[in-house]
């Protein structure tokens, strides 16, 4: 199955929608908490943990169906299911209804990474660059969640922040269904091979190390993307109070940081992956430690710094899968990796509110710096490789 430009565009939009939907609640949680009768946003935040748990666990069946049934079919379900789940979120009347709606949203959101990214990379000539652009799209979705939700909360209400993207997702589903050709055979029946062949034992070791690195990286991703809005609100108290302005500022952080993935993606096609990955992860540590003590605009610039490093680390796992894993099983491997990493890191979402309430953002940021040290240790255990070794097989 050849991926045309229109399908590639829709797959990148799908990545933006995936991350945008998962962070609407976190951006609007203060307003939602007040409407649902909670005195503090920290007390409502754990109700969203189910979304991130199913976002991880749902990747396994999604990846299996993507390989054995077809990636196009799964992406059609993704667009319509995501839109329908967002409509349920918009209609929630209490915390438990919201928890159930968010869990359903997480289950449909789980489809994208093990299905959409392998579909996009099937015939990519420069996988690193393709991964970088796709990562940019996903993180711009995070930025759009911040700015859209901020304005909706101020001028229309938090429910509209779910309604508008729901309509967009359903429209994308209709266009994708009509414009993307049906697959002639399921990916599992294809003969495309990985660029670098490894023994089963080495592949198993790589998967274990890669998964542990992804777990620690996913914890940082979930802590920051779910907590950055409240961090800005706290550290700018008395300087900026308007939710729309805070939303613009947060969107600016994510937009600038998102371009790190494009740069890193291009570097992956040119330089050895292990050393590049390690350098990006090590950058996270001083940025998080400095941010722990910063206030006001100093915090804002450091927030850009640590998000550049956190977003910049994202493309490496997908690049390793392209390099070492046959296309016939990429969706299943990606699904298993996401199930472990995001299943465990969903604890970060559950514990975010209670942790901030008990210890504050200063302690949380210092803990994240320690997690970044763990990621660096895992990266050191990865195999080395020549520069530009992520070229995908051409069929």
Lowest mean pLDDT among 14-23, 163-172, 277-286, 347-356: 347-356
Higher pLDDT, 196 or 360: 360
DSSP letter at 392 equals: P
pLDDT at 390 over 50: no
What sign results for the dihedral spanned by CA atoms 349, 350, 354, 359? negative
Task: Give the CA count within 13 Å in the CB-facing half-sphere of 37.
Answer: 4
Q: Among 349, 367, 351, which residue's Cα sits nearest to residue 106? A: 349
Q: Among 112, 88, 110, which residue's Cα sits nearest to residue 100? A: 88
DSSP letter at 329 equals: G
Task: Give the CA count within 13 Å in the CB-facing half-sphere of 66.
Answer: 32
Q: Collect all residues with Cβ–Cβ distance below 8 Å to 191 and sequence separation of at least 6.
A: 328
Tell me the residue length of the chain: 395
Percent of the chain with pLDDT over 90: 34
DSSP letter at 382 equals: S
Identify whether the C-beta of residue 10 lies closer than 8 Å to the C-beta of residue 180.
yes
Segments making up each domain of the chain, as ranges: 5-380
Q: Collect all residues with Cβ–Cβ distance below 8 Å to 71 and sequence separation of at least 6.
A: 115, 116, 118, 119, 183, 187, 331
CATH topology of domain 5-380: Growth Hormone; Chain: A; (1.20.1250)
Question: What would the pLDDT profile of 302-337 be if each residue is shown by its tens digit?
Answer: 999 999 999 898 888 878 877 777 777 778 877 877
Identify whether the C-beta of residue 78 lies closer than 8 Å to the C-beta of residue 153.
no
Identify whether the C-beta of residue 151 lies closer than 8 Å to the C-beta of residue 247.
yes
pLDDT at 13 over 80: yes
Q: What is the pLDDT of residue 339?
A: 77
Question: Which band of pLDDT confidence, cut at 50, 70 and 90, is reported for residue 82?
Answer: very high
Task: Give the CA count within 13 Å in the CB-facing half-sphere of 371.
Answer: 23
Average pLDDT of the chain to the nearest whole number:
85
350 token code pair: 């559950």
Question: What would the pLDDT profile of 202-217 be if each residue is shown by its tens digit?
Answer: 777 777 787 888 888 8
Write the DSSP assignment of 16-70 as a string of letters. Answer: HHHHHHHHHHHHHHHHHHHHTT-S-HHHHGGGGHHHHHHHHHTHHHHHHHHHHT-
Dist. CA 64–CA 336, nearest whole Å: 9
What sign results for the dihedral spanned by CA atoms 18, 5, 144, 214? positive
Question: Which band of pLDDT confidence, cut at 50, 70 and 90, is reported for residue 170?
Answer: very high
Dist. CA 174–CA 79, nearest whole Å: 8
Question: Which band of pLDDT confidence, cut at 50, 70 and 90, is reported for residue 395?
Answer: very low
pLDDT at 85 over 90: yes
Dist. CA 254–CA 279, nearest whole Å: 21
Write the DSSP assignment of 168-203 as a string of letters. Answer: HHHHHHHHHHHHSPPPSS-GGG-----SS---HHHH
Identify whether the C-beta of residue 346 lies closer than 8 Å to the C-beta of residue 222.
yes
Determine the average pLDDT of the residues in 54-60.
Answer: 87
pLDDT at 196 over 80: no
């Amino acid at each position: 199955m050849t991926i045309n430009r229109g399908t590639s565009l829709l797959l990148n939009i799908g990545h933006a929608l995936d991350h945008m939907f998962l962070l609407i609640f976190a951006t609007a949680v203060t307003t939602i908490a007040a409407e649902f009768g909670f005195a503090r946003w920290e007390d409502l935040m754990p109700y969203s943990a189910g979304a991130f748990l199913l976002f991880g666990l749902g990747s396994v069946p999604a990846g299996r169906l993507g390989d054995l049934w077809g990636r196009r079919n799964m992406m059609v379900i993704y667009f319509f299911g995501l839109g329908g789940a967002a409509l349920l979120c918009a209609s929630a009347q209490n915390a438990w209804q919201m928890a159930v709606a968010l869990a359903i949203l997480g289950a449909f959101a789980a489809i994208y990474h093990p299905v959409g990214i392998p579909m996009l990379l099937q015939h990519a000539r420069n996988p690193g660059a393709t991964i970088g652009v796709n990562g940019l799209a996903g993180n711009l979705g995070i930025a759009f969640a911040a700015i859209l939700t901020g304005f909706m909360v101020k001028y229309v209400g938090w429910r509209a922040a779910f309604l508008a993207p729901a309509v967009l997702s359903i429209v994308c589903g209709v266009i994708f269904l009509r414009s993307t050709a049906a697959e002639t055979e399921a990916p599992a029946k294809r003969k495309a091979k990985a660029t670098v062949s490894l023994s089963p034992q080495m592949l198993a070791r790589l998967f274990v190390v890669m998964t542990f690195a992804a777990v620690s990286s996913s914890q940082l991703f979930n802590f920051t993307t779910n907590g950055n809005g409240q961090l800005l609100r706290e550290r700018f108290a008395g300087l900026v109070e308007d939710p729309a302005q805070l939303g613009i500022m947060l969107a600016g952080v994510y937009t600038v940081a998102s371009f790190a993935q494009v740069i890193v993606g291009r570097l992956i096609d040119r330089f050895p992956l292990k050393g590049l990955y390690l350098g990006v992860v090590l950058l996270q540590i001083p940025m998080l430690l400095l941010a722990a003590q910063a206030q006001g605009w100093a915090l804002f610039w450091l927030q850009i710094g640590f998000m550049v490093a956190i977003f910049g680390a994202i493309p490496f796992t997908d690049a390793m899968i392209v390099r070492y894993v046959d296309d016939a099983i990429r969706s299943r491997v990606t699904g298993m990796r996401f199930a472990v990493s995001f299943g465990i890191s969903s604890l970060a979402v559950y514990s975010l509110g209670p942790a901030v309430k008990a210890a504050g953002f200063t302690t949380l940021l210092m803990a994240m710096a320690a997690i970044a040290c763990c990621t660096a240790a895992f990266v050191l255990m990865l195999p080395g490789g020549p520069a530009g070794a992520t070229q995908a097989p051409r069929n």
